[in-house]
Amino acid sequence: MEKYVDMSSQEFRKYGYKMVDWIASYLENIEDYPALAQINPGEVKNKFPLTPPQNPQPFEELFGEIDKKVMPGMTHWNHPGFMAYFNSSSAGPGILAEFLSAAFNINGMLWKSSPASTELEEVTMNWFRQMVGLPEDFWGIIYDGASASTMHGIIAAREQANKFNLRHKGLGGWDNSPRFKIYASEFAHNSVDKAVITLGFGLESLTKIGMDEQFRMNVEELKACIAKDKAEGKIPMCIVATIGTTSVTSIDPIEEIAEICQKENIWLHVDAAHGGNSAVVPEKRHLTKGWELADSIVINPQKWMFMPIDISIFLTRKRDVLRRGISLSAEYLKTDQDEEVKNQMDYSLQLGRKFRSLKVWFTIHYYGVEGIQNIIRNHFKLAEEFKNLLLSNKSFELVAPLTFSTICFRAKPDGIEEKNLNEFNKKLMDAVNKTGKIFVSHTVADGKFTIRAVISGLRTNSDTIKTAVELFNNKLNELLGKKV
């Protein structure tokens, strides 16, 4: 076949095998790379020409280009020492599923446009729901991230406040437009703020509720805010509660919040983007207790179930409300099966969608539920190990309790005044990250600069934990001017 059509099948085989070899070696030798890219802004782009190649270049060359130009600019999320943000690591089955998905290149907007994708998504979402122990009345759909999932939760909440017909009138279509209220804790993810901005409610509609000493939403304050808002003629519409806040993985009191939601007819969206994955381990389900009372829940398997980014699962007990809130139909999208099938486009802002359920299927199939449970169970164990090793040096303290597998801590060595501790801990973190052996990130909790070590990487093991704690001890001593 000529060049201006597609690669020939011989070429595809040749480079395909080569690419698979390249990936296998990469993952095999990933510890040879630094966890955090050790470069400055601009260093990657400066290696590339300013204009695109006019003539074909040998595909073969791309492998070398990746090694030379791309790799130095990579922060390696699959590195065992990657403990920053919320780690997302990817396993082989999901990587291969992505490969296949690109080859099929379906668009799953309608059942008819890809029956297999629509139905496999239904099957795998039902599996996933069972895996995390949620009741049968939860229905799931895949979005591209938790930000999108949470926005869809708020769209459904808006629809539930239906008597205002916001879908048609919008916020400005009223004399004395009422103000709708959304509540979340101070540590809720800023995707809630973004959704509120995007949907036009405005940030003034969002009240951030204070937290107790363990960074959990303060329910008394929530109740008082709702009562005050109602007295002022505002309309409480949605509460976003978090299971596993991004800052410190704290857990809001879901059952108490659910009770308020039921009493006040407010939509409860639970953001369990990271933490929700752990419910696959039965003995950890006390951490997610009460989430079955939610109207909608988001869990990101890309964060803690080794499926390649992007995959976020949105589960709701009120699928029809979501559908009323977002579905539209166009003549060219009508099909004979509309009465009997679910068209994914009716439940999402996104029209076109790729075959994401393949990676869910491949991953569950490859490991089995038990295999996945064991990996996540081990992360809990490794986190305990990290905590105990770290705290055996009295110069370290936890800033927040260890709930899932994220250790939130700071150094508080003798001789450094409280007012200098934030700067000191930032230096400590930077020094550790500069080694390239591990990568941790930070938050500020209670005014304290807090280092977060997230133990949820597929390749993280006991040795990684020992290396990490040793690094913290060594760099601490160096900063204090002690001999290592």
| Residue ranges in contact with ligand PLP by CB under 6 A | 86, 145-147, 189, 191, 242, 246, 271, 273-274, 300, 312
Q: With respect to ligand PLP, which residue has the nearer C-beta, 274 or 318? A: 274
User: Would you call 95 helix, strand, or coil by DSSP?
Assistant: helix
The CB-nearest residue to ligand PLP is: 145
Q: With respect to ligand PLP, which residue has the nearer C-beta, 86 or 291? A: 86
HSE-up of residue 261 (Cα within 13 Å, Cβ side): 28
State the minimum distance, in angstroms, from the CB of residue 423 to ligand PLP.
27
State the minimum distance, in angstroms, from the CB of residue 143 to ligand PLP.
8
Q: Which residues contact 108 (CB under 8 A, 6 or more apart)?
A: 114, 117, 118, 121, 344, 352, 353, 354, 355
Q: With respect to ligand PLP, which residue has the nearer C-beta, 245 or 464? A: 245
State the minimum distance, in angstroms, from the CB of residue 249 to ligand PLP.
9
Measuring CA to CA, which residue among 297, 477, 458 is closest to residue 379? 458
State the minimum distance, in angstroms, from the CB of residue 430 to ligand PLP.
23
- Contact of 35 with 82, CB cutoff 8 Å: yes
Measuring CA to CA, which residue among 120, 167, 5 is closest to residue 353? 120
State the minimum distance, in angstroms, from the CB of residue 49 to ligand PLP.
32
Q: With respect to ligand PLP, which residue has the nearer C-beta, 98 or 229? A: 98
97: number of Cβ within 10 Å? 24
Q: State the amino acid at position 353 in one-letter form.
A: R
State the minimum distance, in angstroms, from the CB of residue 243 to ligand PLP.
8
Measuring CA to CA, which residue among 38, 103, 96, 43 is closest to residue 69? 43
Q: With respect to ligand PLP, which residue has the nearer C-beta, 310 or 338? A: 310
Q: With respect to ligand PLP, which residue has the nearer C-beta, 147 or 373? A: 147
Q: With respect to ligand PLP, which residue has the nearer C-beta, 89 or 113? A: 89
Residue by residue, DSSP assigns 372-429 as HHHHHHHHHHHHHHHHHHHHTSTTEEESS---SSEEEEEE--TT--HHHHHHHHHHHH
State the minimum distance, in angstroms, from the CB of residue 250 to ligand PLP.
10
Q: With respect to ligand PLP, which residue has the nearer C-beta, 149 or 395? A: 149
Q: With respect to ligand PLP, which residue has the nearer C-beta, 86 or 386? A: 86
Distance CA 224, CA 207 (A): 12
State the minimum distance, in angstroms, from the CB of residue 420 to ligand PLP.
30
Q: Cα separations (Å) of 389 from 404, 440, 452, 479?
A: 17, 17, 15, 20
Residue by residue, DSSP assigns 175-208 as TT-PPEEEEEETTS-THHHHHHHHTT--GGGEEE
Q: Which residue has the tokens 């038990």?
A: 370
Question: Encoding tokens for residue 119?
Answer: 């139905």
Question: Encoding tokens for residue 302?
Answer: 């890309």
Q: With respect to ligand PLP, which residue has the nearer C-beta, 300 or 460? A: 300
Q: State the amino acid at position 149 in one-letter form.
A: S
State the minimum distance, in angstroms, from the CB of residue 229 to ligand PLP.
24
Distance CA 379, CA 388 (A): 14
State the minimum distance, in angstroms, from the CB of residue 323 to ligand PLP.
22
State the minimum distance, in angstroms, from the CB of residue 330 to ligand PLP.
28
Q: Which residues contact 261 (CB under 8 A, 6 or more apart)?
A: 239, 267, 268, 293, 295
Q: Which residues contact 16 (CB under 8 A, 6 or more apart)?
A: none
Q: With respect to ligand PLP, which residue has the nearer C-beta, 428 or 458? A: 458
- Contact of 128 with 279, CB cutoff 8 Å: no
